[in-house]
Amino acid sequence: MTDKMHGWQERVKTAEDRAQEESRQDGWRLKHHLMPPVGWLNDPNGLSQKDGIYHVYFQYSPFDPEGGEKFWGHYESRDMIHWRYTGAFLAPDTAWDRSGVYSGCALAEDGKLYIYYTGNVKQDGDYDYIHAGREANTILTVTEDGCTPGDKELLMTNEDYGDDMSCHVRDPKVWYENGVYYMVQGARDSRDRGCVLVFSSEDKRSWTRINVLRKEFLKAYMWECPDLFSLGEQRILSFSPQGLEAETFCFQNQYQSGWCILDGDFRETDGYVLEDFHEWDMGFDFYAPQTFADEQGRRILIGWMGMIECDYDNLPTVGRGWQHCLTIPRELVWDKERKTVLQRPVREMELLRAGEEQYRDKAELEWNRSEGLEVMVSMSGAAGDLSLEAGGLQLAYEQKSGVVLLSFADESGRGRKQRRAKIGELRRARIFLDSSAAEFYLNDGETVISTRFYPEKESLPLKITVENGTILVYHLKNIEIDRI
């Protein structure tokens, strides 16, 4: 352990304790989204459930709201409504991860969580840190309680990934299938093409590369945060490509996250086909999602509600010592008829409903941002246009073009301008409004749009108009977060 990291538990706890009192006066703090106690949050990690307890780890920089030393923080819950924050879980405290504890996963097995992650090391010198000067170490730690990690074990280094890869290999995701353990990692190869590496193991520790997944027509130089899973009989590959060129109705963010149907055998070089790429979320703030199967058999996705290297910001919260949040947990459902993945807020969110108002065609009310809202819009008959205005935040659907537009009419977007999605006919919309975050689920979650926003006023006029439809507005209680 370096002198810099000596006593990191005390340093982190001191920063969190100091922020605890200040956060009570912070109107930007969220009511039904997980966020960092202090500092910076990005990728969700180690998503899992063990012995009835959900575990949500996340990349965490507690000392700098604009990023810095990368730790992991940890939340746990039995119902995804009442949460407990247990503190920082991992720190960059070995020679294998001294430049940052990067993203990874958790495998629940034998009453334990096997935590796999990337240890980042940037060597001193004049390097590009892409093809030279960087170590990407695959590390394992095992925890029985989810809160206390065991000793770190070095499993793989750059030499194990192949001579055809750059130094950018990261974000292991591990699962067990038919007597074999498999791992996927995101990669940038030596020719600057994005891909996913596939490994196999018999003992969770000794890994062999068995395949490389590519989609040649998807022009990206890096694929991050891969996740290979099944919804029923349909195999899905999720990943976050970097370097795609923006188009009118897709790839509008700096970086994207999405999924492809994977047909065939992912273990065979010529035995699989990756079909079209679909974005998980069409909003401003979404990246690096991860999924897991819970003990009820649901496939649940959580994403990072943020973006890097973009032309908009979150300075209102940075000025208060923190930045970013995670999305609402979303259950993934395969729709055979539409041949697509639907994203639906987990049903536990309905437990937050505290009051209901019903409207026909038009709703106008005053929304106090100290409480969250859930809005359900159902179209009937000859459905038409829809519009929602919450201060400067605007969502508009035009039936004629089949296009939905998210935009800002004031400075509350902090540089966010507009995002478009072509959805065809709009039948249903489910909307969650939080103090500084909004998520829009259209057509049962066939299209999702997420954004952060920062209105100055505590109370905002909320106006919803729909042609030939009903509007339900639910007032939401806050999720509860305790600290140990």
Is 93 labeled as catalytic in the residue annotation?
no
**What token pair was written down for 203?**
């003992």
CA-wise closest residue to 433 among 371, 381, 347, 378: 371
Strand (E) or helix (H) holding 186? strand 180-189
- C-alpha span between 445 and 343 (Å, rounded): 4
Active-site option among 3, 43, 164, 270:
43
Tokens 């130089």 map to which residue?
221
The DSSP result for 313-339, as a single string, is --HHHHTTTEE-EEPPPEEEEEETTTT
Q: How many CB atoms lie within 10 A of CB 244?
A: 21
CA-wise closest residue to 45 among 97, 118, 99, 94: 118
**What token pair was written down for 282?**
């069409």
- C-alpha span between 448 and 442 (Å, rounded): 6
Question: Please, what's the b/e burial string for 21-53 (b: 16 or more CB within 10 A of its CB; e: otherwise)?
Answer: eebeebebbbbbbbbbbbbbbbbbbbbbbbeeb
Q: Does residue 387 contact residue 397 with C-beta atoms inside 8 Å?
A: yes
- Work out the end-to-end distance of the chain between its first and last CA atoms, rounded to an integer number of angstroms: 25
- C-alpha span between 201 and 223 (Å, rounded): 22
Residues 6+ apart with CB under 8 A from 6: none
Catalytic residue IDs: 43
